[in-house]
Amino acid sequence: MAILAPDSTTTIPFSSNGHQDTLLELNPFLIAQRQLAEAVEILELDDATHEMLRWPMREFKFVFPVKMDDGSTRVFHGYRVQYNDARGPAKGGLRFHVQETLDTVRALAAWMTWKTAVVDIPLGGGKGGVTCNPKELSRSELERLSRGYIRRVADFIGPHNDVPAPDVYTNPQIMAWMLDEYEAISRQHLPGVITGKPIALGGSQGRADATARGGILTLREAARTLGMELQGATTAIQGYGNAGAFGHKLGAELLGLKVVAASDSRGGIYNPHGLDHDALGQWKQRTGSVVHFPGAEAVSNEELLELDVTVLMPAALESVITGHNAARVQAKIIAELANGPTTPEADHILHDKGAYVIPDFLCNAGGVTVSYFEQVQNAYNLYWTAAEVHKLLEAKMVTAYHSVREMAERMTVHNRLAAYLVSVDRVAAVMKLRGWV
C-alpha cells in the first residue's frame, strides 16, 4: 500500500514584529494571522476576541484509501477546517492540489470567514482539500477520491453547519459525485449540502463565472473611484483557470479590457496587441495550456507580474506578490481573483507606490455570494434565471466594495486593511451578541 504524504506543516508561534520574514511569506496561515492582528489593534478588540479569531473553531485532518485503476491502493491526506460559524454555517471550497497543507487550508478558511462577512451574507468560513495531483488521476480515480473524501467528512458537514464548494482543480462534476455520496450516506435528498453543482442537480445559473464577474464589478467601481477609463486598458492575468479565463472574457465584454498577457502553471504568453478570449480558450482546451499560443511570445509567471499594464489580475495561488518583487509591479490596479496572492510586506510597498489593490476576499467574493444564492434556491426549491442572479450579485458586490472604500478613506488605511476592519468588526460583534467573548 503506497502512501501519498502532504508537505510538512509546522505551526510557528505568531509574531507581529513588522519585519520582512521569508518564512511568513511562505506560510499563508501566518500571513492571515498577521493581517488579522493589524485589524484587531485598530478595532481595539479584547484579547479573548482576538484569540478566538486567530484560530479555527474546528479542524479535521484524516487519511483515506483509494483504489487505483491498476488495482493498487493509495492513501491520501484530507482536510476540512471550519474556521468560524458565528454568522452562519461554515462555507468554503475544496482543493485537490499537490501542495495542499493544513496551514494552507486554515488560511483559506480564515479568508472565507472575512469574505462572507464583507459581502454581508449569513455564512461563516470553512475550507477543505486533499493533497494530490489530480492531473495524474483518471476520471474513475477522481470519482473514488471524491467519494472517499466525503465518507470521511459526512458527519461534520451539512446544509446547516458546513457547505463545501469547488475550488482549485475541483469542478461541478466532482461536486456531483460528492453530493451523491453524501445523499447515499444520509439517505436524504439534500442538494444544499454542496454548492457549485451542475444545473441539473440543483446548481445555480450564474455560478460558473461568479468569481470573475464579482471581480470585474469591483474593478469597474474602482475605476470609477479613481476616475480611470478601462476601455482598452492593458491587462495581465496570472492563472488561466476558471476565474482567470472568465476574468478575460467578462473583462473584455463588460469593460473593454485588452488582455495582453496570460499564464498557467506551465508558463505564460504576451502579445501587446491583445489576446482573443475565444481563440485562447480553444487553444488551452486543445493543448492543456496557454503556452505556445500562436502570435504570442513566451513570458514566465514571474515576468508577467511585472509587465507594464494598467490592470493585473493574480488568479492563481497564494503569495505571488511579495516583498521581493512588489516594487517591480507596474500595474495601476491589482484585482485579486486568487486567494492570498499578496503578502503583508507587498501590501505596504504597493500602497506606498500608489497601486490600487482590490483585496482578494472582496474582489473574488462573487463565487461564495452566488453559492449562497444556490443554497437559498435549494432550500426553497425555486430557481432563478441568470439575469436575476447577476442583478443580485451586482447589488451585493457594489455595496461591499463601497463599504470597504469608505472604511479605507475614513481610517486612512490601504484597502486590504479596510476590508479586514469591515469584516472582523462584523464577526466580532456577532460573537459578542452570542456571549462567546
Residues belonging to the active site: 127
Rounded distance between C-alpha atoms, residue 179 and residue 407, angstroms: 40
Return phi, psi of residue 358, to 5°.
-95, 105
Residue whose C-alpha cell is 496561515: 29
Set of cell numbers at residue 410 = 475614513
Alpha helices in 44-193 (DSSP H): 47-54, 102-118, 139-153, 172-186
- The answer to whether the CB of 82 falls within 8 A of the CB of 124 is yes
Set of cell numbers at residue 45 = 478588540
What is the H or E stretch that residue 312 is in? Answer: strand 311-314
Q: Give 94's contacts (C-beta < 8 A, 6+ positions apart).
A: 127, 128, 129, 130, 149, 164, 165, 166, 167, 170, 174, 178
What is the H or E stretch that residue 211 is in? Answer: helix 210-226
Sign of the dihedral defined by the CA atoms of residues 350, 33, 131, 127, in that order: negative
**Residue 359 forms beta bridges with which residues?**
none
Which of 425, 356, 369, 371 lies closest to 399 in space, CA to CA? 369
Helix and strand numbers, DSSP H then E, in the chain = 15, 13
Helix (H, G, I), strand (E, B) or coil at 207: coil
Residue 221 sits at the vertex; the CA angle it makes with 216 and 226, to the nearest 5 degrees, is 120
Rounded distance between C-alpha atoms, residue 99 and residue 168, angstroms: 11
Burial class (CB in 10 A: 0-12, 13-18, 19+), 300: exposed
Rounded distance between C-alpha atoms, residue 385 and residue 206, angstroms: 8
Strands of 271-309 (E only): list them: 297-299
Residue whose C-alpha cell is 453559492: 371
Rounded distance between C-alpha atoms, residue 99 and residue 101, angstroms: 6
Q: What share of the chain is helix, strand, coil (3-state, %, to 5)?
A: 50, 15, 35
